Structures are given as structure tokens and as C-alpha cells.
Amino acid sequence: MGEFTGSLGPARSAGMSDVFVLKIAGATGEMRLLRTFGGKGADLANAVALLPPDNVIVGGTFGAYVDASVSEVNFGRGGVRASDGADGFLVALSAEGETRWTSVVGEQGDDEVVALATREGAAAGIIAGVATVAAVSLTGANFHTLPWLPAQVQDLNIGIVALAVNFIVLIVVSLAMRLAAAPAHAAAE
């Protein structure tokens, strides 16, 4: 997943830059599938989430640096235009590269999708955040009991700490899910 200008294999960019999603054979690196999306503007892929079995959701931005009237991109379900400035997009693809659904995110100004998380990662992150708040509340612990920490850290609100724990666990679980799915993807190739 990424963006390209000019050409990528048999595909040619339709504008400043286009989005690509590439499926390769794990053992050989051979290109198995190439999907591209783009219009006259700058279209960028920023985020990807793998969903079993072999489905993928890609998020990013489209229609940057051009007037909304010429920002149309077809993600596989008909053309969509940015509303004003660049807009964010989500596109779900099947293992065969078919578009399952598309969603546009945007209003006035520039909008983009910068990160995606799987349900497993989000649930684990929320549980870890709630557990952090519960542990601190039940034990009465706070950062003031750790004098070796800098004053800025000692003044942090537990909500911010719980949010940080949530985010870290979300990333770890999402990566673990991706790595666990990788051997199955490689074996299928």
C-alpha cells in the first residue's frame, strides 16, 4: 500500500499521485494483485488494516491540490469527489482485490485518514485503559509517590496515562494480529 507517480507495473497514474494496493507472494515476492485508485489531484494512502480472511481496509486522502470539481476518484463503486480541499477515504478490498465498500470522510478544508485499528486491537486497548484507571483508583496510587519522575510526569492526569496505555496496547495487539495472519497469507501463496 502506498502512492505512486508515473507508472507502477501496468498501471499509470491519473494525476499528481495515485494510491496502490499490492498483494505479493510471500515466498517469491511475485506480484499477485495490483489495485490503483486516483484522480487528477494528489491521492495518498496513509493507513492499512488487515482483516481475516485476507481482506484489507486502506485509508488515506484524495483530491489534494486540485479544485473539488476535478477531484473525482473511482474506488470501485463509482466516482466520488472531495467536498472542499482534500478529503479522507476508506476502501475495503476482498482477497481478490474487489471493492467491498467505500467511505468518504470530509467537510470544509483538508481531511484525511491517518490510522486504522482492528476491532481486536481496539478492544484490548480499551480494556487496558480501563484496567489502568481501575488499578490507580483502587490502590490510590499516583505519580507523586514516584519522586524520581520529572515534575511534568508527576502532574499527568490518570486519564492521559490510561489513554496512552490504551494506544500502546492497541498498536501491540494490532501488530500481533497482523503477524499471526502473515504465516497463513504466505502459506496460501
Domain-wise residue ranges, the chain: 2-105, 119-188
Residue 188 is predicted with a pLDDT of: 47
Question: H helices of 84-157, where?
Answer: 119-139, 151-154
When pLDDT is cut at 50, 70 and 90, the band that residue 139 belongs to is low
More confident call, 58 vs 149: 58
**pTM of model > 0.95:** no
b/e per residue, 77-96, with b = 16+ CB within 10 A? eeebbbbebbbbbbbbbeee
Which amino acid type is present at position 141?
A: A
**Digit-coded pLDDT (tens) for 73-98:** 989 888 888 887 888 888 999 989 99
Look at strands 73-74 and 31-37 and give their pairing.
unpaired
Q: What is the mean pLDDT of residues 47-68?
A: 84
Which 3 state secondary structure label does DSSP give 180? helix
| Omega of the bond leading into 183 within 30 degrees of 0 (cis) | no
Spatial CA neighbour of 24 closest among 84, 92, 97, 73: 97
User: When comparing pLDDT for 157 and 75, which is higher?
Assistant: 75
pLDDT of residue 182: 57
pLDDT tens digit string along 31-55?
888 999 999 999 999 888 887 777 8
Distance of CA 109 to the CA centre of its chain: 21
**Average pLDDT rounded to a whole number, residues 122-144:** 57
